[in-house]
Structure 1
């Protein structure tokens, strides 16, 4: 009975977390679908052809507007790299598309506090700059050449079909005319559903792990592990261990936010939370994908560069927010509330569930269900233009 009660408690916490983050997820993926419906991948590739500050800035902005789960982001980055984008710009796009997206910011603000959202949007660009500098030192010449040769082999993964799809609306007319045309609405619906199909496993896994973590791991143990009683040691330890926990948890994309809330309530430092969230791109399955896409030497350099940049960005966030007095003093992330009531969250969820139902119905009526099979297709297949 104790085991059953503990499992029930973990599932209840996971369920309440799901309810808390539902409407921001729907909003974020809807906005991402709108952006993807009006911006073509060829336009993106042209802007990312170098590793200049301008190209990196464009990669960051375009990535932030194009939400992806970690696996789809990695596949899309390789697709951009194969089509002519520089390696650094492709990786900047990859980082931004999972760590600087609107739904992540909204969820962080609602469940943990606006300071975490600000930290993410300050630390993300810092990480991108550090990664670009690291690549100039360790990812050039023969290494990049070998990575491109491996990338050109077109080895397929579970997200290749999703990354290859281009359902954007052809030019002609104003932005609003294109967006609210029949083809425009169909394209938004298609991107919305396909993005959900690519990310739901990550989110579900993260919620279940976070629920179990919150229900079963004693807070006293976590506080000791994170050195909560020693502020200096905690600040030094948090950004180092945060990415390691992320790697071993196998949780990525937005699914790691509930677990980040559990870690914060358990005593990890502010900078440790930031570095943990950034680390969705070096979980062990993703590292294995890097090896398959770019070769072993490139995968090791990508992983090492990302890790060092995540740690440094965590330290930067910790320092900046400590100096300005913005580090929250309370550790009571609302994501751990285990009840659902009639409040603004419930009303927003109902409204956005109606929007999701409209987009799903549009997806089905337009014949989009057949495209779900492309989730496992190869990027060597032709781009799919919605028409």
Structure 2
């Protein structure tokens, strides 16, 4: 729709005009300028302020689904699924493709946690197309919808969601039948879902530690040492205060849930 695209373009032009960044300056000098890094720190904090509630609720729901929802519940969502079943009709495959992204949307699960659950679904007999649609759905989950809405407005964000949803349906169908034609569909009986050890002292731990230090420095630089630096960056689309409050309290409940789980694991048991 031309009106939505024009409105989104105006929003982007407004953001570019309000960003306060001077593109004519030498980037090498900008890299050496502490004020430039202070602006980065302000922008970095602003981005986290925009998504922390979504990320918190998303991770918590993903954990609850993985830990407490029985496998049989997933099988009822996908018609004809079950261990050892690989013969699906077109309409069963189409249903799997549609239900996969819807389930991911409702549970907030995007790239944060959909791969382990996708492996679980495939091991329980969900079609290859349904699993691929579930994996592709990381771009049609609620946090992404909200982020797009803040930049382009809700109407344009919903239009983008519709385009991505229809695209992943087509892509999943093409992948499934292309692999089937070449006899390359993977065998679900070979899938073995094992418990993962989520905390290890390895390169990931040290990278996380390094980026945590960098994050702390950027926030210190932008909001303490160089707090008077004006970054002139603002959000582009108005937020729903009701939705923000709901997500905020949901995030607080998530923290209480996680703290309770840690207390049970390490203090009570």
Q: TM-score range by the shorter chain?
A: 0.5 to 0.7
Alpha-carbon distance in structure 1 between the residues aligned to 2:233 and 2:149: 23
Bigger CA radius of gyration:
2
How much does 1:209 deviate? 0.4
- The residue number in structure 1 matching 2:167 is 309
Aligned counterparts, 1:6-85, within 5 A: none
Name the CA shift for 1:169/1:331 in 2 (closer, same or farther; >3 Å): farther
Aligned residues: 220
Q: Report the equivalent of 1:192.
A: 44
Q: Residue 349 in 1 paired to residue 228 in 2?
A: no
Alignment-derived partner of residue 23 in structure 1? none
The 2-side partners of 1:153 and 1:177 are apart by 31
Match of 2:110 in 1: 256
CA distance, structure 2, for counterparts of residue 215 and residue 197 of structure 1: 28
2:32 to 167, 180, 184: 180
Indicate conservation of the 8 Å contact 2:105/2:141, yes or no. Answer: yes
In the alignment, does 2:196 pair up with 1:337? yes
Contact 2:77 2:99 in 1 (8 A): no
CA contact (8 A) 2:100 2:133 kept: yes
The residue that corresponds to 2:218 in the other structure is 359
User: Which digits, 9 at most, give the CA deviation of each residue in 1:174-214, with x for residues without a partner?
Assistant: x3332332233223222222222212112111100001101
Which residue of 2 is the match for residue 231 of structure 1?
A: 86
CA RMSD of aligned residues (A): 4.5
Please, which of 131, 156, 170 is the counterpart of residue 23 of structure 2? 170
> Does residue 245 of structure 1 match 2:103?
yes
Contact 2:118 2:134 in 1 (8 A): yes
Give the 3 Å change call, closer, same or farther, for CA 293–264 of structure 1 in structure 2.
Answer: closer
Distance in 2 of aligned mates of 1:337 and 1:165: 46
1:213 aligns with 2:65: yes
Deviation at 1:237, TM superposition (A): 4.0
Tell me, which stretches of 5 or more residues in structure 1 are unaligned? 1-138, 155-160, 380-387
State how far apart, in whole Å, the 1-side matches of 2:96 and 2:19 are. 40
Superposition deviation, residue 356 in structure 1: 1.1
**Superposed displacement of residue 348, structure 1:** 1.9
Q: TM-score scaled to structure 1, two decimals?
A: 0.44
Question: SS of 2:19's equivalent?
Answer: coil
- The question of whether the paired residues in 2 share the 8 Å contact of 1:193 and 1:360 is answered with yes
2:19 touches 2:233 (CA, 8 Å); kept in 1?
no
**Structure 2 Cα separation of the partners of residues 172 and 194 of structure 1:** 24
Whether 2:133 is the aligned partner of 1:278: answer no
Shift of 1:361: 1.0
Q: Deviation digits for residues 54-76 of structure 1, max 9, x if unmatched?
A: xxxxxxxxxxxxxxxxxxxxxxx
Work out the CA distance in 2 between the residues paired with 1:374 and 1:211: 33
The normalised TM-score by structure 2 is: 0.60
Q: 1: CA distance between counterparts of 2:205 and 2:151?
A: 40
